Amino acid sequence: MKRYGRGIWPMLALFVLLLVSLSFMSDATHNSEQFGRLYSLLLLTNALGLVVLLGLIGMNLYWLLVQYRRRAAGARLTSRLVLMFVVLAVVPVSVVYYFSLQFLQRGIDSWFNVQIEASLEDAIELSQSAFDVRLRDMLHLTKGLAGELTEVPSAVAPLSLYDLRVRSGAIELTLLGANGRIIASSGAEATDIIPDRPADAVLLQARQGQAYVGLDPVGDELRVRAVVQVPTGGPSAEPRILQALYSVPERLNEKADRVQDAFARYKELAYLRVPLKHSYTLTLSLVLLLSLLSAVWGAFYAARRLVAPIRDLAEGTRAVADGDYSQQLPVTGHDELSFLVQSFNVMTRRLAYTRDEADRSQQQVEGQRTYLAALLANISSGVISLAPDLRVRMVNDAAAQILGLGSEECAEAALETLARQHHSLQPLVDTVLEQQRQETAQWTAEITLFGNRGRQVLICRATTLPGDDVHPGGLVLVLDDITALIQAQRDAAWGEVARRLAHEIKNPLTPIQLSAERLRRKFLDRMAPEDAEILDRSTHTIVQQVETMKEMVNAFSEYARAPQIQLQVLDLNRLVREVLDLYRGGRGERGRPAIAAELDPAAPRVEADAGRLRQLLHNLVKNAQEATADSAEAHIRVATRVIDSADEQPYVELSVQDNGPGFSAEMLAKLFEPYVTTKPKGTGLGLAIVKKIVEEHGGIIQAENAPEGGALICIRLRPTGPASHSHGPGA
């Protein structure tokens, strides 16, 4: 469909063919012999040619309509151009057509004139009158000839006829019987063997005695034909008829011929006036149609040629707008449109290049980001990237695991919001805020968290990122969970101390004790009573002190020993009650404080080592007893309670409070360190062991002075027990 009727050359050929055919047709209408025979064929050819042209235009129109409905690029412009071209062509051609038609009608009418017609008719009548005289003469002559034949018998008629013909100057004399049979004939022209018979009507007329004379057009010349009855000699004689043919003088003949020709020609033309007008009008209309249709087709052709590059450009621009930069339009010609197309091609090439560059850069950035993400995902340190407003930008898996967060909830959340959702993160947030306030560019802090997974000691290293206009910088936190490390280090250190104490101190104690006992056994009985008393007292002191030293070393070993804790699910309240029952025995005795238990029945079971917890309770109660030993109204309160938090697991708090003197500020700072004691007889390991047990269970311990006075020790444990991986037994 697209290609049909588009080429310029086939159309040009069709146009020329039709034009030639129309010119032939015009000639034919003009009564030209040459094309007169072809008139119908030419008319058919032209009609077919015009139908073909009409078909091509129809296809073009349909194509344009389809394009228009499809809102194809350039369709509107093409329609407008076609319309403009068609109007430009139709108006002048129509004007020319109208005036040509007028000229044609008037021109043909002007050929005919009433005067000419009358003159020609007069000329004919005049000619006829001129012939009439001659005809009468000829008739008279013929009648004379017939009279001479009256007595001539039919048998000798030919001879008489010859004489008569030569004498009268007739071309041919023929004697006929009543039935029309030729009796005899004499002709001047030897070639005419068969005499020219008169028509039956003429014969009939002659038989009835009426003579006939008339002009007879034979070929180009005129003859006079006279037919008369031959007078009969007697009643029995057969009636005969004589026909004489006379030639007309050549000059007269020529003139008569010219008059006849002119008259006939004029008559014919006058008769043909209307058909002639119609034929000329038809030819003119066909020429008009051919011109119009060719102009319309030309309009389509020109519009398409003009619009093609614009349409390409429009389509190309649309493609570029849709992101297709591979568009390269064909460049034809050297006009401004071609320049535009070239510029478009250059533009798309550059756009494509720029886009490829951008893609490559983005791929590189993506690669780096992926590399960084992989790196961050695979390192054991937690990394948190914060925006300057402390909004979380990125949290790696390790950080999420250390802080017990899901990666999703961290995204774009403010650090403070996270702390509100997870109270355990509060120390971390406090530290960060504090450092922000101080505007420290780089800092390192040790932070202890107490979360769902118990106590965690973190080393937090922070670096402030330099920012610029586009990227505002921020803060990078690197977190390392050193809970297990610290525990291991501490265990190793105390283990070493214990080993050395046992080796360096405890080992010499036994020989010292044995030696003292041996001195006593060997020399006490033999010595004088006063010496013996000195020996007794000295050895007794040595043995007693050595025993004390042994106890001390054992106690320390107990602290430093890496215990194998046996975790089991147990009822904390029951365990507290059992331990406290041991102390109830001495109730009311002097110096023995009253012990009150306030146990929360809702306290959940905890996973713990029962033996270690008992030791913890003994140590605390003993401490409290010792602290209140001098008090008359001494009492100790042991309480358990459940502390709920909205977002985290509830935990169990075990508190031991006394109404003793409480802790001094100096003591509070190093309360849980070994060998710190206020008691004259204490090893200083009681609270250190308590703290160790608490940490083994993943709990935390706090010591403070109660508002109403006295010491208050609070221990918080998770009901599910400690996370074994970070708080398990030390090496």
Partner 1 sequence: MACADDAYFSVRDARTQLKDGVYLLDANVVYRFSDAAMEALQNGIPLVLEIQIKVGRQRAWLWTDTVAALSQRHRLQFHALSDRYVAHNLNTDQRQSFAALDDALYALGAVRGFPMLDQRLLEAGADYQVRVRAALVVEELPTPMRLWAYASEQWRLDSAWYTWRLQP
The window from 79-87, 254-262, 433-441, 456-464 that contacts partner 1 (CB under 8 A) reads 254-262
Nearer to partner 1, 256 or 714 (CB): 256
Q: Which of 218, 358, 365, 629 binds partner 1 (CB under 8 A)?
A: 218
Order of all β-strands in the sheet with 212-218: 182-187, 172-177, 240-247, 221-230, 212-218
Rule CB under 8 A: choose which of 256, 286, 307, 595 binds partner 1: 256
Specify the residue for token string 């029952």.
Answer: 581
8 Å CB contact between 599 and 639: yes
* Cβ at position 204, least distance to partner 1 in Å: 11
414 DSSP assignment: B
251/590 with CB nearer partner 1 = 251
How far is 332 from 325, CA to CA, in rounded Å? 21
Q: Which of 59, 77, 96, 272 binds partner 1 (CB under 8 A)?
A: 272
Q: Site size for partner 1, by CB under 8 A? A: 38
Q: Measured from the CB atom, is 123 or 639 closer to partner 1? A: 123
Q: Does 43 bind partner 1 (CB under 8 A)?
A: yes
Residue 128 interacting with partner 1 (CB under 8 A)? yes
> Closest CB to partner 1 among 139 and 402?
139
Is residue 698 a contact partner of residue 721, using CB atoms and an 8 Å limit? Answer: yes
Q: How many residues does the chain have?
A: 731
To partner 1, the closest distance from the beta carbon of 338 in angstroms equals 51
Nearer to partner 1, 157 or 290 (CB): 290
Report the 10 Å Cβ neighbour count for 88.
12
- Is there a contact between 124 and 263 (Cβ–Cβ < 8 Å)? yes
Distance, in Å, from the CA atom of 20 to the CA atom of 36, rounded to the nearest integer, reads 15
Rounded-to-integer distance, Cα 164 and Cα 185, Å: 11
How far is Cα 299 from Cα 75, in angstroms, rounded to an integer? 14
Torsion of Cα atoms, 26 then 29 then 32 then 34, to 10°: 70
Specify the 3-state DSSP secondary structure of 172.
Answer: strand
Whose Cβ is closer to partner 1: residue 214's or residue 495's?
Answer: 214
φ, ψ for residue 139, nearest 5 deg: -65, -45
180 binds partner 1 (CB under 8 A): no
Sign of dihedral through CA atoms 496, 499, 502, 505? negative
Pick from 20, 65, 182, 264: which binds partner 1 (CB under 8 A)?
264
Q: Minimal distance in Å, beta carbon 254 to partner 1?
A: 13
The owner of tokens 């063919």 is 17
- Interface with partner 1, residue 268, by CB under 8 A: yes
Contact yes or no for 559/692 (Cβ under 8 A): yes
Annotate each residue in 183-202 with x if it binds partner 1 (CB under 8 A) or - if it does not, as one string: ----------------x-xx
| Using rule CB under 8 A, residue 210 touches partner 1 | no
Measure the CA–CA gap between 633 and 685, rounded to whole angstroms: 27
Among residue numbers 553 through 592, which ones bind partner 1 (CB under 8 A)? none
CA angle 175, 181, 185 (to 5 degrees): 35
The answer to the question of residue 118 lying near partner 1 (CB under 8 A) is no
Nearer to partner 1, 43 or 161 (CB): 43
With CB under 8 A as the contact rule, the residue among 72, 77, 96, 259 that binds partner 1 is: 259
539-543 long-range CB contacts below 8 Å, 24 or more apart? 542/512, 542/513, 542/516, 543/513, 543/516, 543/517
Residue 267 binding partner 1, by CB under 8 A? yes
Binding test (CB under 8 A) with partner 1, winner from 100, 101, 180, 263: 263
Interface with partner 1, residue 107, by CB under 8 A: no
Q: Which of 62, 98, 271, 371 touches partner 1 by CB under 8 A?
A: 271
Three-state SS annotation for 624-638: HHHHCCCCCCCEEEE
Asked if 216 interacts with partner 1 (CB under 8 A), we say yes
The reply on whether position 249 binds partner 1 by CB under 8 A is: no
- Which of these segments, 264-272, 322-330, 659-667, 675-683, binds partner 1 (CB under 8 A)? 264-272
> Which of 59, 215, 252, 445 is the binder for partner 1 (CB under 8 A)?
215
Which member of 45, 142, 279, 396 binds partner 1 (CB under 8 A)?
279
| Candidate list 10, 31, 177, 238; residue touching partner 1; CB under 8 A | 31
Judged by beta carbon, residue 109 or residue 268, the one nearer partner 1 is 268
Selected binder of partner 1 within 96, 124, 310, 482 (CB under 8 A): 124
Question: Is residue 116 close enough to count as binding partner 1 by CB under 8 A?
Answer: no
CA distances 42 to 20, 27, 276, 550, Å, are 10, 11, 17, 145
In the block, tokens 């706090």 appear at 702
CA 483-485-491 angle, to 5 degrees, is 105
| Interacting residues of 584 by C-beta distance below 8 A, sequence separation 6+ | 595
One residue of 7, 36, 209, 388 binding partner 1 per CB under 8 A: 36
User: Which CB sits closer to partner 1, 260 or 421?
Assistant: 260
DSSP 245: E
Per CB under 8 A, residues contacting partner 1 are 28-29, 31, 36-37, 39-40, 43, 124, 127-128, 131, 199, 201-202, 214-219, 222, 256, 259-260, 263-265, 267-268, 270-272, 275-276, 278-279, 282
